[in-house]
Structure 1
């Protein structure tokens, strides 16, 4: 798979994402449902703790990717939903710690929502991956 960043402006690079990417030579495409801070039985974890929820949601995303023989390096698009955008942004270093070392900056959208499917959840991340 060949990824080529498309950035008519560079401001998004400081925030850890590209404006767009062209993806060539893929043989598999994975569309992940939104991942949240739930345990293996689907029970919400870390109530009221945005940082804890982001960390567990990322763990869960990595588990889904691994089950498909992929990893964060394969992520080509992220959709992020947060009940408190400012609080989520304060903790976006968690995304940087995972995507930065592998030099992956997939296009991303962050949306503020009034609530998620389970009221105690604060953060949800969905991904599209390719290999």
Structure 2
């Protein structure tokens, strides 16, 4: 797989994303449903935003690994949250995870009026290999 990022500016680098990602010679594409802070038994978390973000990241990583893909292959990440204001102080957690896995992805973050049950943040990814 060949991956090329397109960044006409520098400011997005501080926010850990790329303006566009081009991929060529892909041998597979994985479209992940939104992953949130849901326990293996199906119980939705009612914990704080930080805890929910950490669990959503762990759940996304679990899905990617189980599918025999790697987090470094994430090319698109959509972030849905019930409060960008509540999420923003914990954004470095996501940035550290992105750096750890050397992910170069396009990102969209949306504040929504609600997520399933008591959930506050959901991560949806497209992964290639």
Instruction: Quickly name the TM-score band, shorter chain normalised.
Output: over 0.9
Alpha-carbon RMSD across the aligned residues, in angstroms, is 1.0
Aligned length: 129
Task: Map 1:9-88 to 2 at 5 A.
Answer: 9-45=9-45, 47-88=46-87
Query: Which residue in the other structure is 1:127 paired with?
Result: 125
Q: Residue in 2 aligned with 1:91?
A: 90
Residue ranges of structure 1 left out of the alignment (5+ in a row) = none
Q: 1:103: how far off?
A: 2.4
Runs (5+) with no aligned partner, structure 2: none
SS at match of 1:87: helix
State whether residues 72 and 104 of structure 2, in contact with CA within 8 Å, keep that contact through their aligned partners in structure 1.
no
Q: TM-score under structure 1 normalisation?
A: 0.94
Q: Deviations over 1:13-69 (max 9, x none)?
A: 110000001111101000000000010011012x24000000000000001001111
Q: Match of 2:77, SS?
A: strand
Alignment partner of 2:108: what SS?
strand
